Amino acid sequence: MSRLVLMAALALPVLGACTPAPETATDAAPVTPVAAAERTPDVTGPVKTPTSSAIAANTASASGLPIALVHKSPTCGCCTAWVEHLRKAGFTVEVDQREDLEPLKKRLGVPLGKGSCHTAEIGGLIVEGHVPAEDIKRLLANRGSARGLVLPGMPMGSPGMEAPDGRVQRYTVEMINADGGTTPFATHGE
């Protein structure tokens, strides 16, 4: 079996469960956390469940980082891998599993054309897609009027989309500005 065929075969179980979310509009309301009653447990690992008011207040975890609330499909393997990436970077992560992320993305204000397979709320920021934890930490430390970060699609080699050979496709994380537009924030890869 050729190396390329083997790599594709290894990636199919993960990629098959993940498809980019439909595009969303930018005329959404401000970030509002999901009520505890709307959340389902993360079956991939332990979940620390803060109250809705704790998330709304952007409470910090023991690491000093804000709690990350990740919204994802129950069947998305690469989303689960991204959750683990956040945990390894020191974030306490709560997972909200739901079949239809589109209404949430619209409510949070994920910019049109910038969708991915999961959406997170972290310290009052929107984080869409496979954004590296270090980029999130950098924006949290110096956010200004930014509303969040987006990484459209699912670039190979981004956190949660690691390739068996370690290759990282060149990708750019974008910052969501106060007006809902985006500007380049960080570039990664070859």
Please give the chain's pLDDT, 190 residues, in tens.
Answer: 433 333 333 343 334 345 443 333 333 334 344 444 344 444 343 333 333 333 433 555 566 899 999 999 999 999 999 999 999 999 999 999 999 999 999 999 999 999 999 999 999 999 999 999 999 999 999 999 999 999 999 999 999 999 999 999 999 999 999 999 999 999 999 7
Domain ranges of the chain: 3-188
Q: How far apart are CA 118 and CA 21, in angstroms?
A: 8
Q: Which residues contact 159 (CB under 8 A, 6 or more apart)?
A: 81, 82, 85, 130, 131, 132, 133
